[in-house]
Amino acid sequence: MHGDFHPGNVVGTPAACVLIDWGDSFVGHPLIDELAFTQRLDAQDRAVAGRCLVDAWRRTAPGADPERAAELLRPCCRFRPP
């Protein structure tokens, strides 16, 4: 996990991306990064990014409920304004 994941922490191309700024990394729930990243997006882009995550999660873990997981995690994650 990164905790303040944003486009400035990623380099590469759409086919091959690398996360940088490892000084702030930790082991945690993947939705922590999703919530940190999407807070900086407008409502339309936030919905698209969220849908991509949910679709990927469901392909990886059929039967999972990523929307509910995000709903439960949101109050635990307080981020600085973008």
52 CA to centre of own chain: 10
Listed in sequence order, the DSSP H helices in the chain are: 30-38, 43-60, 66-73
Q: Do 47 and 54 contact (CB within 8 A), yes or no?
A: no
pLDDT, one tens digit per residue, over 51-81 is 888 888 889 889 989 888 888 887 777 655 4
Q: Do 5 and 38 contact (CB within 8 A), yes or no?
A: no
pLDDT at residue 44, as a whole number: 93
Give the separation between CA 2 and CA 21, rounded to whole angstroms: 8
pTM (2 d.p.)? 0.57
